Amino acid sequence: MAVVSLQKPLDILHSIFGYSSFRGQQSEIIDHIINGKDALILMPTGGGKSLCYQIPALCLPGIAVVISPLIALMQDQVESLNQLGIRASVLNSTLSASESSEVEKKMRNDDLDIVYVSPERLNTEGFLSNIEKCRLALFAIDEAHCVSQWGHDFRPEYLEFSKLQERFPSVPRIALTATADDLTRQDIVKHLGLENGRIFISSFDRPNIRYRVMSKDNEKKQLLTFLNDEHKGDSGIVYCISRNKVMEVTKYLKEHGYNALPYHAGLNKDKRNKNHDHFIKDDEVIMVATIAFGMGINKPDVRFVAHLDLPKSVESYYQETGRAGRDGLPSDAWMVYGIEDIVKLQQFIIRSNADAEHKMLEFQKLDALIGFVETVKCRRQVLLEYFGEKHSGKSCNNCDNCLEPVKTFDGTIAVQKALSCIYRTEQMFGVTHLINILLGKEDEKVKRFNHNKLSTFGIGTEYDKSQWKSIFRQIIASGLAIIDMESYGAVKLSANSNKILRGEEKVYLRSDVMDRKSTKTKKTSTGKRSILTNAEDENLFQKLREYRLSLAKEQGIPPFVIFHDSTLIEIVNKKPSNLKEFSCISGVGKSKLERYGNSFLEIIKEHY
């Protein structure tokens, strides 16, 4: 393999990675590290954090030690680097003692550029005394938010990393994370001793992700339509709230011809690992999962993340949807939700064992989430503002509200009917029962309580059940009534109800399910790989993808380690006819040109 050292960053970017230019702050960060200084990098998923330490690792003499919390990810990262001709290796519990000492020997002999270690390994005296004998280029601490006890991925081993500074004061340290909040940031600086380092903050916007939130009507059918219209042959994730629902939706998608696999904490570890592996190593797999499927999804070509239930908070939504489109190609964050979701999440909070203060905080988070899903403003702006980032104020043109301004209608009378129905039933009943009364349905419960005698019985037949659900959802979301969890989800009037009942104020509601026949999905669809404009190109893309998969299977690695979809798409669009032209494609460096150039050119030739 090529021995690379002491080259200029831009030359390495061109010749090894095959990319034409740096993105965002990459170049500045790389220079900063090469100059021997420490840094904290806050950059969203897919922003290009890896290059920020990989290129300095190649520019500086000696070995770069990268600390990464997930063993599964380390292997993929090392594979990717090896494919580029970079001398990298892992050092963790998957290696035998003799394999480990072989790696350590290579480190001492300057025969490795980058080593990925687990936090546990880093903290051993054996490892530390070994690296004292090595020439060290830098330390990179990936997923640095694991040092914070506020976050959800807290790893106590991370707290010990402060000793790196004491023991290796002249080796630059670079900490990286996609978690943006202020508390976590402060924790990282404090615990990793980065007070003298520089903080590089990128925008957390993910411009290639299209955000869409819709009223839940028939969720499975809505999902199927979305997949059929926009994501045939794509990989994606469908998040569900419960294990049962995961199994049910997996079955449904399979029956409709999709290669869907389940993932939840109730499956045994082997099964979970197997499904995870399929998802990473095969094309066209849909993972139907609870949030147990989280860390370690480094697949760059996840084309959609669909939510069939509300996530817990805006943070969770951003994290979960952020798993789409790491490769920068157009991707979808798609969600359906209904009033049941709000009720369910409220119940979770009420029934949890948390103390009152904590519950209050959870309720505030839920309110913010409801604000996000109900907003008529640009969703991207609402998201970014939530994270304290100011957006340009212009419409993003890549969320449902920007692409198709929300239609509203004067819902005053509908809301008055709903509120008076709540009042007449003495604020003791849930939404389903209230809707039955409004629709004039004489079911057993309605009869038992004599609710068929009420003045509000049957006064709402101008809407159907799902339309009433949408109306109630908006009534609750805007605080015109509240759900009382202490009394089993009964809807109660609020301080805001009166002015509507007395007709002092009008209420405008989203049309949502009112105009069901709207072509909403069509209008706002990302258009499958819109970059490929004709069937013949799509055909070639499929051929290249199949060939890439066969190469990957031979080597037991994920296909994206060979080439990303974005590289295949560029190959299809430019149709290189010789190695020189092939080398100009983004993502084709020296090593990949040598390994794969000829065989890919062959497929292009065969195709024409």
Interacting residues toward ligand ADP by CB under 6 A:
19, 22-23, 26, 43, 45-51, 300, 326-327, 564
Which of Zn ion, ligand ADP, none has residue 380 at its interface (CB below 5 to 8 Å by kind)?
Zn ion
Q: By C-beta, is 45 or 100 nearer to ligand ADP?
A: 45
* φ, ψ of residue 556 in degrees (nearest 5): 65, 35
C-alpha 101/C-alpha 106 separation (Å) is 9
Instruction: Provide, rounded to whole angstroms, the least separation between the CB of residue 27 and ligand ADP.
Output: 9
Strand partners, 175: 40, 141
Strand bridging mode 508-510 / 408-410: antiparallel
List, in sequence order, every residue forming a beta bridge with 302; answer none if it has no partner: 235
For the CB of residue 25, give the shortest distance to ligand ADP in the complex, in Å. Answer: 11
In DSSP notation, 494-521 reads: -TTHHHHHTTSS--EEE-GGGGTT--HH
- Whichever of 327 and 341 has its CB closer to ligand ADP, that residue is 327
Per the CB < 8 A criterion, the answer to whether 264 and 246 are in contact is yes
> 268: how many CB neighbours lie within 10 A of its CB?
8
Q: Strands, E, within 216-270: which ranges?
A: 235-239, 260-263
384 binds, among Zn ion, ligand ADP, none (CB under 5 to 8 A by kind): none
Residue 136 interacts with, from Zn ion, ligand ADP, none (CB under 5-8 Å by kind): none
User: With binding defined as CB under 5 A, does residue 171 bind Zn ion?
Assistant: no
Which among Zn ion, ligand ADP, none contacts residue 326 (Cβ within 5 to 8 A by kind)? Answer: ligand ADP
Smallest separation, CB 38 to ligand ADP (Å): 19
Nearest distance in Å: CB 152, Zn ion: 28
- The minimum distance between CB 534 and ligand ADP, in angstroms, equals 26
At its nearest, how many Å lie between ligand ADP and the CB of residue 18? 9
Nearest to 259 by CA among 281, 240, 239, 278: 278
In terms of CB distance, is 207 or 479 closer to Zn ion?
Answer: 207
Q: For residue 399, what is the DSSP state?
A: B
Least spacing, CB of residue 54 vs ligand ADP, in Å? 8
* Sign of the four-CA dihedral 564, 568, 573, 575: positive
Minimum distance of Zn ion from residue 511's CB (angstroms): 18
Residue 396 engages Zn ion in binding (rule: CB under 5 A): yes
- Residues numbered 375-394 forming contacts with Zn ion, rule: CB under 5 A: 378, 380
Among residues 84 and 373, whose Cβ is nearest to ligand ADP?
Answer: 84
The site partner of 399 among Zn ion, ligand ADP, none (C-beta below 5 to 8 Å per kind) is Zn ion
SS3 (DSSP) at 337: strand
Identify whether the C-beta of residue 528 lies closer than 8 Å to the C-beta of residue 234: yes
CB of 569 to Zn ion, least distance (A): 25
Q: Which does 43 bind (CB under 5 to 8 A by kind): ligand ADP, Zn ion, none?
A: ligand ADP
Rule CB under 5 A: choose which of 13, 402, 475, 482 binds Zn ion: 402
Nearest distance from residue 135's CB to ligand ADP, in Å?
25
Q: Which is nearer to ligand ADP, 298 or 346 (by Cβ)? A: 298
Residues numbered 319 to 378 that lie near Zn ion (CB under 5 A) are: 378
Residues 6+ apart with CB under 8 A from 260: 238, 249, 250, 253, 254, 285, 286, 287, 288
Stretch that binds Zn ion, among 120-128, 398-406, 437-445, 577-585 (CB under 5 A): 398-406
The span from the CA of 487 to the CA of 493, in Å, is: 14
Tell me how far apart the alpha carbons of residues 20 and 13 are, in angstroms, rounded to a whole number.
7
378 binds, among ligand ADP, Zn ion, none (CB under 5 to 8 A by kind): Zn ion
How big, in percent rounded to 5, are the helix, strand and coil portions of the chain? 50, 15, 35
Q: What SS3 class is residue 450?
A: coil
β strands within 294-399, DSSP E: 302-307, 331-337
The option from Zn ion, ligand ADP, none interacting with 216 (CB < 5 to 8 A, set by class) reads: none
Of residues 178 and 396, the one with the C-beta less far from Zn ion: 396
Comparing CB distances to ligand ADP, the nearer of 47 and 56 is 47
Taking a C-beta distance cutoff of 8 angstroms, is the pair 386, 368 a contact? yes
Sequential DSSP letters for 472-495: HHHHHHTTSEEEEGGGTTEEEE-T
Q: Which is nearer to ligand ADP, 241 or 302 (CB)?
A: 302
> Cβ–Cβ contacts within 10 Å for residue 506, how many?
11
The conformation of residue 405, written as its DSSP 8-state character, comes to P
Closest distance of CB 382 from ligand ADP, Å: 23
399 lines the binding site for Zn ion (CB under 5 A): yes
Q: Which does 469 bind (CB under 5 to 8 A by kind): ligand ADP, Zn ion, none?
A: none
Please identify, using beta-carbon distances, which residue of 140 and 285 lies nearer to ligand ADP.
140
Q: What is the binding site for Zn ion (CB under 5 A)? A: 378, 380, 396, 399, 402
